[in-house]
Amino acid sequence: MTNAVGFDLDHTLAVPGRDRRRILAAAVDDVDAPPVSREAYLAAHRETHDAVTRAPIFDAVLPEDATVSPDALAAAYRRRIAEGIRPVDDAAALVESLRADRPVGLLTNGPVKAQGDKLDALDWWQAFDAVLVTGQLPAGKPDRRAFDALASALGVDVVDLVYVGDEPVVDVEGAVDAGARAVQVVWPEGPERSPHADAVVDRAHLARDLPGVLDDLD
């Protein structure tokens, strides 16, 4: 039996109710900020994974003469995302059933407050044996230190961890490079399938199929 299972959050166990571009545009409108492109936001996000909030991200992308503060825009964006996030079908029941046999953790990239608001909205802080937001860690995924931290929090060696996530590099390659096994969650409009994944599961049937996939990996 797999000793421990770790999950990604965004687009794996929970999905936004609206397209992220639309969410960003709505947050910009909420505080009358200058337009911010999704591409610029993502580029800045990759450089500030250890931020407590998204304020440093918006500080990097807002023009110098912007009258709105990065903190205000970060709060608006955080609120918009938390309001719209929803769990994948039967995600909570899946985690609960897996925890009956093994420790189950959550490892999510992002600022502490941003990811924390999502977990508050989902009421998932207590749903896992360990919850790690990379803003609290020395490094985020795909750095092996993030996966080592999750394994340590779950009380296992990283080689005894199966990590479940959607991103080919951040989740799958990161986990495999750290010594864990990886299950990629896929959906029709999602990222390309990774050749490094030990298994693949369709997000629409995650709760139904993942237990069997984990059994097959044992």
Q: pTM for the full model?
A: 0.86
Site of tokens 């749903």: 127
Average pLDDT rounded to a whole number, residues 45-73:
87
Do 130 and 150 contact (CB within 8 A), yes or no?
yes
Q: Could you tell me the pLDDT band of residue 114, with boundaries at 50, 70 and 90?
A: confident
Q: Taking the mean position of all CA atoms in its chain, how far away is CA 210? A: 18
The pLDDT of residue 178 is 98
State pLDDT tens for residues 119-132.
999 999 999 999 99
Do 194 and 184 contact (CB within 8 A), yes or no?
yes
Q: Could you tell me the pLDDT band of residue 17, with boundaries at 50, 70 and 90?
A: confident
Of 47-61, 75-89, 194-208, least confident by mean pLDDT is 47-61
Task: Give yes or no for residue 50 having a pLDDT over 80.
Answer: no
The pLDDT of residue 51 is 67
State pLDDT tens for residues 151-165.
999 999 999 999 999
The pLDDT of residue 113 is 87
Phi and psi, residue 201, nearest 5°: -135, 140
Q: Could you tell me the pLDDT band of residue 135, with boundaries at 50, 70 and 90?
A: confident
Nearest to 30 by CA among 65, 60, 74: 74
The pLDDT of residue 93 is 98
Average pLDDT rounded to a whole number, residues 199-218:
96
Task: Tell me the CA end-to-end span of the chain in Å, nearest whole number.
Answer: 5
Nearest to 114 by CA among 162, 73, 75: 75
Percentage of residues in the chain having pLDDT higher than 70: 97
Alpha-carbon distance 173 to 34, whole Å? 36
Per DSSP, the three-state class of 211 is: helix
Mean pLDDT over the full length of the chain: 94
H/E element, 5: strand 4-7
Contacts of residue 152, Cβ cutoff 8 Å, sequence gap at least 6: none
Average pLDDT rounded to a whole number, residues 65-93:
93
